Amino acid sequence: MSTYQLVCTIISFILNSFLVWLILRHSPKQTGKYKWLMLYTTCFEMFWGAFDLPAEIIAHSVGCAFIVFRVNHPDSLLSSDQSSWVVLVYTAIFGASMALFASHFIYRYGSIDNEFGNKFTSGSKFGVLFFIPVVTGVWWSTVVRVWFWPNLDMDDYTRNLIREQVGVGIENISYIGAKFYNKNVNGTESFNIPAWIGVCQMWFMVIASMTCVFGFGAFCYFRLSSQLSLVSNSANNLQVQLFYALVLQTAIPLILMHFPIAIYFLCPMLDLDFDFASAFVASTITLYPAVDPLPSILIIKNYRRATIYSFRRLICLPGGKYAARSTATVHSNNGRSFSKTVN
């Protein structure tokens, strides 16, 4: 367990716990059911950080192969087989994270486009959004179990790497991994078909998720732009805040997870040996749950005001009592209407 990993886990727990409190106590009424999707994501990231710390997963790529493993220490409470399932669950969580924000963008567009919302995200259909990451995680781990499970070829190919990196033999680790090319006795390379079948399914999941994110993100942007003058200031401001918070909250896993994992897979697929890719993936994945809550905390007005007030109280500075404000439409006797901020 590294100091960096421990610090990231502590920060993740503190920020995500605080965001849970903000969502439950200070969400504007107009947030509606979306707050439960936000809460789902926040709790997922807390679980991610809590699982990642004791799991002590290590990822490496070498030549035309990648390997994800954990060391089985002599005093470990888990057997080698049990440790293998820890690695498998880790990959399932990672796979679920690939689809997490696709659900958010689908719902955000449904909240803006009533026709789409009534058809796909209203009523009991809202619950389907919670199962998209679950299905993706199960599919991802199934691919790992079927196509990337340990075998003798991988043992022989990665034996020296494991000895150099962690100082133990291949029999002292639990791993999943694959090599994309086989080399015969004549030195001729050929495709390792099982590895390519597995990685193509993973690419499909990642691309499908990114299509939802960018596609529905673009739809949200253009629909919000066209509705700016048609809805009340209160509803419009909240929609814009939620949208931009979601954009930044999605940019974080794109930068810290999707792009690094793409490089991590591409290097062995192209038979390129970059140690930097392995180190970069390990660092960014650990950092992700620690920084992802920040956009919601800082951009959504009610959360930001509650955060500032809580911080001022923490350091004993006067700041005035925090009270959520909302904008109401008031109608006067002469038929004219105007917006008024109320506490």
Is the distance from CB of 110 to CB of 217 less than 8 angstroms?
Answer: no
Whether the full predicted model's pTM is greater than 0.75, yes or no, is yes
Query: The domain at 3-342 falls in which architecture?
Result: Up-down Bundle (1.20)
Please choose, from the candidates 250, 232, 255, the residue with its C-alpha nearest in 3D space to the C-alpha of residue 108: 250
Please choose, from the candidates 197, 191, 183, 154, the residue with its C-alpha nearest in 3D space to the C-alpha of residue 60: 154
Is the distance from CB of 174 to CB of 198 less than 8 angstroms?
Answer: no
Quick count: other Cβ atoms within 10 Å of Cβ 269? 17
Q: Can you list the positions of beta strands (E) in the chain?
A: 58-62, 65-71, 173-179, 181-183, 189-191, 326-331, 337-342
CA distance 100 to 137: 10
Is the distance from CB of 271 to CB of 65 less than 8 angstroms?
Answer: no
Please choose, from the candidates 238, 228, 248, 231, the residue with its C-alpha nearest in 3D space to the C-alpha of residue 295: 248
Q: 191 has which bridge partners?
A: 181
Alpha carbons within 13 angstroms on the beta-carbon side of residue 113 total: 20
Q: Is 32 left (phi over 0), alpha (psi -120 to 50) or beta?
A: left
CA distance 241 to 254: 20
* Cα-to-chain-centroid distance, residue 225: 27
Phi, then psi, of 182 in degrees rounded to 5: -110, 145
SS3 helix, strand, coil % of the chain, rounded to 5? 70, 10, 20
pLDDT along the chain (343 residues), means of 10: 83 94 90 90 90 86 88 86 92 90 87 88 91 95 95 90 85 92 83 94 90 86 68 62 78 81 84 71 82 88 90 73 45 42 41
Residue 319 is predicted with a pLDDT of 55
Q: Go through the chain and tell me how many residues it has.
A: 343
SS3 annotation, 191-260: ECHHHHHHHHHHHHHHHHHHHHHHHHHHHHHHHHHHHCCCCCHHHHHHHHHHHHHHHHHHHHHHHHHHHH
Position of tokens 């994945």? 285
3-state secondary structure of 180: coil
